[in-house]
Amino acid sequence: MQFGIFTVGDVTTDPTTGRTPDDTERVRAMLTIARHADEAGLDVFATGEHHNPPFVPSSPTTMLGYLTGVTKNIVLSTSTTLITTNDPVRLAEEYAMLQVISDGRMDLMMGRGNTGPVYPWFGQDIRNGIPLAIENYALLRRLWTEDVVDWEGKFRTPLQGFTSTPRPLDGVPPFVWHGSIRSPEIAEQAAYYGDGFFHNNIFWPMSHTRQMVQFYRQRWEHHGHGPADTAIVGLGGQVFMRKDSQKAWDEFRPYFDNAPVYGHGPSMEDFTRETPLTVGSPQQVIDRYATMREHVGDYQRQLFLIDHAGLPLKTVLEQIDLLAGEVVPVLRQEMESVRPAHVPANPPSHAERVAAARAAGTDGAAHVGGSEDRWTGRTAEDDPQPAPAGAAFGL
């Protein structure tokens, strides 16, 4: 089972000192956090994507591309990649490039984004969130799996004879998760394609998470990907630890009380009872998260939010040490000791996906076309191998 961290990339004032990092400091802190997570032995680092302050991670593949070079083992991922407001053509190109550079040590998670104004800033409308997620992802998949794509949809300018480069590593696209908190349509989408489903439950009671994951599992089986319990599930989580439980409560409380989203609302006592937020000793975190499988079944990826609400970098790095040193080894052992043999322990790695694709004969070409450039310096009318008249418009 994979255990890792995911970051929102918020710039938040530390309520205990009144100090606010600037954007540069926060970006650099995120890089330090990711490197430290790799060195400590965590399995996954995922960054959010945002296009409005107080969040800094607008350009995930730039960040993750750098991290592929300075980390060794950690899987680099997103939480989430905006499938609604990004051009799916650019997503196909950027994440294939990341896949090649990282030698397959990456995957990505699609999400819609719930910030209304971001949609019009990128020429879209939040009311089309679901149709955008469905159409854009359908195009993204075709760009990764088909060498030459003709396309016409509702939301994007049509494509004729388009090849996304670089072609995916070994002709096999990255593994994709779909994240959604309350849209059954997205769970259905993940199930249809046999992709992973991630429920970021950190602000929600487990009863809700259980319903969404159950639905995804049933639909996974319905769409013929195997028994429901073999579907690929990830969960969010949120912890703050000190060896002494009371010290954890005392230290985290001002961050909780002033945190974005839930600050100035429920008490930490209420919130830790109602949601997966766990504040206490490493053993308390182990005990709480060992029960998650009782709600959603045996799952493959557990991500923790540990660097938000203005927590100082030093504290975050200490949390990574506690997580990697004391929590994950025990939790992994507990989770694996009860996992049925036919249920995957991890989401599929690149090597496993390549082997499966070759066995099924579905792997694609690692290069398309010859070595001559048919396009640069030309207009479409100069196409040396012209398409039949009218083909560009599907006539």
Partner 1 sequence: MTTSTPAPDRRLVVVSAGLSKPSSTRLLADRLGDAAVRELQGLGLTAEVETVELRDHAHAVVDAMLTGFPSGELAGVLERLTAADGIVVATPLFTTTYSGLLKSFVDVLDKDSLTGTPVLLGATGGTARHSLALEYSLRPLFTYLRADVTTTSVFAATDDWAAAEGEDGGGLPARITRAGRELAEKVALRRNEGPADPFAGTPDFTALLGGL
Binding site for partner 1 (CB under 8 A): 130, 134-135, 138, 153, 184-185, 188-189, 191-192, 203-205, 208, 211, 215, 223, 261-262, 264-266, 270-271, 273-274
CB of 253 to partner 1, least distance (A): 16
Q: Which residue number, 85 or 189, has a Cβ lying nearer to partner 1?
A: 189
Least distance (Å) between residue 129 CB and partner 1: 13
Q: Measured from the CB atom, is 66 or 192 closer to partner 1?
A: 192
* Strand ranges for the chain from DSSP E: 2-7, 44-47, 75-78, 81-82, 108-111, 149-151, 159-162, 176-179, 196-199, 233-235, 239-241, 278-280, 301-304
CB of 383 vs partner 1, minimal distance in Å: 26
Of 140 and 328, the one with the shorter C-beta distance to partner 1 is 140
Q: Would you give the distance in Å from CA 144 to the centre of its chain?
A: 18
The nearest distance, CB 131 to partner 1, in angstroms, is 8
Nearer to partner 1, 19 or 222 (CB): 222
Q: What is the nearest approach in angstroms of partner 1 to the Cβ of residue 371?
A: 33
Nearer to partner 1, 149 or 322 (CB): 149
Q: Say how far apart CA 216 and CA 81 lie, in whole Å.
A: 20
| Cβ at position 77, least distance to partner 1 in Å | 24
Asked if 235 and 301 touch (Cβ cutoff 8 Å), the reply is yes
Taking each helix axis from N to C terminus, what angle separates 23-40 and 60-70, rounded to the nearest 10 degrees? Answer: 40
Our CB check for partner 1 shows the closer of 114 and 385 to be 114
| Run of H or E residues at 329 | helix 328-338
List all residues 6 or more positions away from 188 whose beta carbon is below 8 Å from its beta carbon: 215, 216, 219
Minimum distance, C-beta of residue 145 to partner 1, in the bound complex (Å): 14
Of 227 and 265, nearer to partner 1 (C-beta) is: 265
Residue 176 CB partners (closer than 8 Å, separation 6+): 107, 108, 109, 110, 137, 193, 195, 196
Which position has the token pair 């506690």?
322
CB of 128 to partner 1, least distance (A): 13
**Cα–Cα distance, 109 to 177 (Å, whole number):** 4
Give the SS3 label for residue 82. Answer: strand
Nearest alpha carbon to residue 45 among 20, 68, 28, 26:
68
CB of 120 to partner 1, least distance (A): 23
Q: How far apart are CA 303 and CA 47, in angstroms?
A: 11
- Amino acid 285 reads V
The answer to whether the beta carbons of residues 181 and 204 sit under 8 Å apart is yes
Q: How far is the CB of 265 from partner 1 (least distance, A)?
A: 3
Nearer to partner 1, 264 or 314 (CB): 264
Q: What is the DSSP string of 162-191?
A: E--SSPPGGG-PPPEEEE-SS-HHHHHHHH
- Structural tokens at position 227: 């028994």
Q: What Cα–Cα distance (Å) separates residue 364 from each residue in 38, 209, 358?
A: 31, 36, 9
66 or 162: whose CB is closer to partner 1?
162
Give the count of beta carbons closer than 10 Å to the beta carbon of residue 11: 17
For partner 1, give the closer residue by CB, 11 or 130. 130
SS3 106: strand
